[in-house]
Amino acid sequence: MNPEEYKEILKTLYDRSRPYHDLIARSESDGLTHDDLLEEVVDRARSGVGTRLRVLDVAFGTGHYLKVAREHGAFSCGGDLSLYACRLAKGANPDIPVFQSDAECLPVRSSTFDVALCLQVLEHTPFPERIVAEIARVLRPGGYLFLAAPNMLGRSGFSRTLRAARGMFSGEFKHLRPLPKGIVEKWESAGSAADIADMDACNRTTIFQAFNLLRSNGMEVVRFDTLRHPKKYRPGRYALARAMQRVPVLRYTGVNFKIIARKR
């Protein structure tokens, strides 16, 4: 299967499978969001901007972060490949502009936005390099990108540490894997989020791939971590996980990376 065929299958999946977005909405209602990091990005971008801040959410899903950005005083808009996602976001926030669009070709002018969001997207595309390049195009010089995705280094602590040590010297920017046969049918018959976890992740993303993509598109990393969401830790484990973020190599081994980058 070539990468273009991946795209067609995924588009069919997201258009036909409404439970996918409903599961995302459920997790957001449970507080599994990164509103605090979005607020940090908005505050960073606001300094030196004389006009109202402009925020673009690439592949916005339910539209949750469009609403949060607006609540922080920004003009927000977004695009998503799924028509159902567009209807869902518009229904929840009728006054926020959204559009159906491939993230590889955004229908907006260059150097338009102060902030771009790309959250849990890179693992779902066979062409992450095109998406990051397109985001770099629409960001103004000095604009910020908030990028997040699963950090797929392996299952065990040993394998994750070994691959992290290797990844620091790698120039890789994607690692594709085949989609499961009958993925659309399996997705639609799923009874829970666990049944479809990572089933559509055709790109085994890592934080090192993200670093390489950002550097090649003229962006510098301002801050990052590889922590889970705080609510996913048992009591006491979160403090230990945060402490590990200060240890060389181990700081790259967490399961989900979150990066704030600035366009030069």
- Give the mean pLDDT of 22-43: 92
- First CA to last CA distance, the chain: 37
Q: Which of 42-51, 97-106, 196-205 has the highest mean pLDDT?
A: 97-106
Question: Using one digit for the tens of pLDDT, what is the confidence trace for 15-25?
Answer: 776 767 787 88
- Which distant-in-sequence residues (6+ apart) come within 8 Å of 29 by Cβ? none
Enumerate residues 6+ apart whose C-beta is below 8 A from 238: 227, 230
Q: Say if residue 50's pLDDT is above 80.
A: no
Higher per-residue pLDDT: 245 or 188? 245
pLDDT at residue 48 is higher than 80:
no
Given a cut of 90, whether residue 222 has pLDDT beyond it is yes
pLDDT of amino acid 193:
63
Q: Which residue has the higher pLDDT, 185 or 136?
A: 136
DSSP state of 203: B
Domain extent listing, the chain = 3-263
Q: What are phi and psi of 257, to 5 degrees?
A: -95, 145
**Predicted local confidence at residue 1, as pLDDT:** 66
Q: Would you state the pLDDT for residue 15?
A: 75
Q: Is the pLDDT of residue 70 over 70?
A: yes
CATH fold, domain 3-263, is Rossmann fold (3.40.50)
